[in-house]
Amino acid sequence: MANDPIHQFNLERVVELPLGGIDASLTNSGIFMIAAVALVTFFMLAGTRTRALVPGRWQSMVEISYEFVADMVKSSSGTEGMRFFPLVFSLFMFILFSNMMGMFPYFYTVTSQLVVTFAMAMLVITLVIVYGVMKHGIKWLKLFILPGVPIALLPLVTVIEIFSFITRPVSLGVRLFANMLAGHIALKVFAGFIVLLIGTGAWWGYPLSILPLLLTIALTALEFLVAFLQAYVFAILTCIYLNDAIHAGH
Amino acid sequence: MEVEAAKMIGAGLACVAMGGAGIGVGIIFGNYLQGAMRNPTAAQGQFGNLIFGFAVTEALGIFGLLIALLLLFVL
């Protein structure tokens, strides 16, 4: 079906690569992942190549993106959090570039696959647990015991805290995935209305199809905002969760 | 009732969660704007908190959408 809004998320094997029973084929998703990494690398390396004291246009863009993420890390997890800056910056740039590339027609949106976003979310949460235990030892578990809670309520609050911690990787991964998926499906559905209206063959088909066209344009603008916002949200939540590992019990 | 029909109704019901998330996100941004209008100098510092609250609120609506998608395409 040509008008299937889900079809755009189909994985297609581009290069077949069976590795001893494991299907390691290069898919269209994999190609766009590599493209996103290559694009980020090119953007950063080519921008800082000249290293001018007075930055040009490209270098300013690189510096702005650096300072944007650096401010985010410092404000939400302190100067100690800056040791995780490379991770947060890589995640932010990768998600931002994949989301933005997904906005081009016929391009694949890498972040619209749950397995990709959930893998990134699990990486963050595993890092939080491992670093938290490494730094504070068993005392890190004090994170779940809120100070100043009445003793009668403490078991209940602790259970809720643990539960909220467990849902973190789920919500972190699913949020990015669902936003990209729902946005792209909505774009496709509204674009499909144009085709349907013109396909009726009636005289009112063409003038009426302007309405869904305008809506599609508005939605495209909204999707660009969402593409940036979700990358920002993922990065800032990473910082906030890392803050729990660095400063436990605060 | 047939299982297929029940799934469709369930998916529709699950989307009610997104209405609740919409109300929540509206309250967050509305209150942020109200606070920002009263004290514009303090607004910039609270932007991170705004996004955090937005993300946590939105997550619940997204969970509802996820249930709907699961009912429609996976189960």
Nearest CA to A131 out of A90, A71, A77 is that of: A77
Q: Which residues of B touch A (CB under 8 A)?
A: 48, 51-52, 54-56, 58-59, 62-63, 65-66, 69, 73
Separation of alpha carbons A134 and A46, rounded Å: 37
Token code pair at residue A238:
């990473």
CB contact under 8 A, B62 and A174: yes
H or E element at residue A141: none
Angle at the Cα of A64 (from A62 to A66), degrees rounded to 5? 70
Between residues A65 and A19, the one the model is more confident about = A65
pLDDT at A250 over 70: no
CB A57 within 8 A of CB A199: no
> Are A240 and B59 in contact (CB < 8 Å)?
no
Mean pLDDT value of segment A179-187 = 87
Which residue of A175, A237, A240 is in closest CB contact with B62? Answer: A175
Number of helices and strands in chain A (H, E): 7, 4
CB atoms within 10 A of CB A51: 8
- Which residue is closest to A178 within chain B, CA to CA? B62
DSSP readout, A112-136? GSHHHHHHHHHHHHHHHHHHHHHHH
Residue A111 contacts residue A117 (beta carbons within 8 Å): yes
Residue B61 has what pLDDT? 84
Interface confidence (ipTM) of the complex: 0.71
pLDDT at A2 over 70: no
Chain A residues inside the 8 Å CB shell of B62: 171, 174-175, 178-179
Strand, coil or helix: A147: coil
Model pLDDT, residue B62: 79
Nearest of A129, A190, A196, A130 to residue A5 by alpha carbon: A190
Three-class DSSP category at A105: coil
Cβ atoms A132, A248 nearer than 8 A: yes
Which tens digit of pLDDT belongs to each residue from A133-171?
998 888 888 888 888 888 888 889 889 889 888 888 988
Whether residue A1 is predicted with pLDDT greater than 50 in this model: the reply is: no
User: A with B: how many residue pairs have Cβ under 8 Å apart?
Assistant: 36
Domain harbouring B36, CATH code: 1.20.20.10
In chain B, the number of structural domains is 1
With contact defined as beta carbons under 8 Å apart, do A230 and A171 qualify?
Answer: no
Is residue B45 very low, low, confident or very high in pLDDT (cuts 50, 70, 90)?
Answer: confident
Domain that holds residue B15: 3-74
Residues in chain A with CB shorter than 8 Å from the CB of B51 are 229, 232-233, 236
Chain B: residue whose CA lies nearest to A185: B69
What is the reported pLDDT for A3?
63
Question: Which residues of chain B does A174 touch, with a Cβ-Cβ cutoff of 8 Å?
Answer: 59, 62-63, 66
What is the number of other CB atoms lying within 10 angstroms of the CB of residue A79? 8
Kindly state whether A62 is in contact with chain B, defined as any CB-CB distance less than 8 angstroms: no
> Smallest Cβ distance to B55: which of A72, A75, A175?
A175
Nearest CA among B34, B7, B21, B30 for reference residue B62: B21
- Residue A19, helix vs strand vs coil: strand
Give the whole-angstrom CA distance, residue B54 versus residue B64. Answer: 16
Question: Shortest CB distance from B65 goes to which of A6, A178, A236?
Answer: A178
Chain A residue closest to B51 (CA)?
A233
Closest in A182, A233, A237 to B65, CB measured = A182
| Distance of alpha carbon A171 from alpha carbon A162, whole angstroms | 14
The residue count for chain B: 75
- Tell if the CB–CB gap between A236 and B48 is shorter than 8 Å: yes
Cα separation, B28 vs A55, whole angstroms: 38
Tell me the per-residue pLDDT of A184-220, one tens digit each, with 9 for 90 and over: 888 888 888 888 888 887 888 888 889 999 999 999 9
- A115 close to A173: Cβ distance less than 8 angstroms: no
* Enclosing H/E stretch for A14: strand A13-15
